[in-house]
Amino acid sequence: MVHLRVVAPEELARRIVELLCASPAVTNVVRFPAVAHKPEGDLILCDIAREDASVIIGDLKDLGVPERGSIAVELIDSSISTVATAAEKAAHGLPSDAVVWEEVESRTSEQTELSFSFTIFMIAAMQIAAVGIVLDQPILIVGAMVVGPEFGPLAAVCVAVVRRQRRLAKRSLIALAVGFPIATLAALVTTLLMIAVDAFPDSYGTHEFTDFISNPDFLSFFVAVVAGCAGMLSLTTAKSGALIGVLVSVTTIPAASNVGVAAAYGNWHAAGGAAGQLALNLAGIIVAGVITLYVQNRDFLARRREHLNQQS
57-79 pLDDT, tens digit per residue, is 999 999 999 999 999 999 888 88
Q: Domain 2-98 belongs to what topology?
A: Alpha-Beta Plaits (3.30.70)
CATH tag, 105-299: 1.20.1080
**What is the arithmetic mean of pLDDT over 171-189?**
95
Residue 307 has pLDDT above 90, yes or no: no
DSSP label at 238?
S
pLDDT for the residue numbered 3: 94
Picking from 146, 148, 245, the residue whose alpha carbon sits closest to that of residue 187 is: 148
User: How far is Cα 9 from Cα 39, in angstroms, rounded to an integer?
Assistant: 8
Name the band, by pLDDT with cuts 50, 70 and 90, for residue 193: very high
Listed by start position, the domains of the chain span 2-98, 105-299
User: How far is Cα 219 from Cα 235, in angstroms, rounded to an integer?
Assistant: 24
Name the band, by pLDDT with cuts 50, 70 and 90, for residue 271: very high
Q: What percent of the chain has pLDDT over 70?
A: 94
Picking from 250, 244, 172, 187, the residue whose alpha carbon sits closest to that of residue 213 is: 250
Name the band, by pLDDT with cuts 50, 70 and 90, for residue 245: low
**Of 91-105, 154-168, 199-213, 282-296, which range is least confident?**
91-105
pLDDT for the residue numbered 207: 85
User: How far is Cα 108 from Cα 159, in angstroms, rounded to an integer?
Assistant: 8
pLDDT for the residue numbered 191: 96
**Of 1-15, 29-43, 52-66, 75-89, which range is least confident?**
75-89
pLDDT for the residue numbered 239: 57
The CA angle 255-261-267, to the nearest 5 degrees, is 100
pLDDT for the residue numbered 241: 52
With residue 42 as reference, give the H or E element that holds it.
strand 41-48
pLDDT for the residue numbered 309: 78
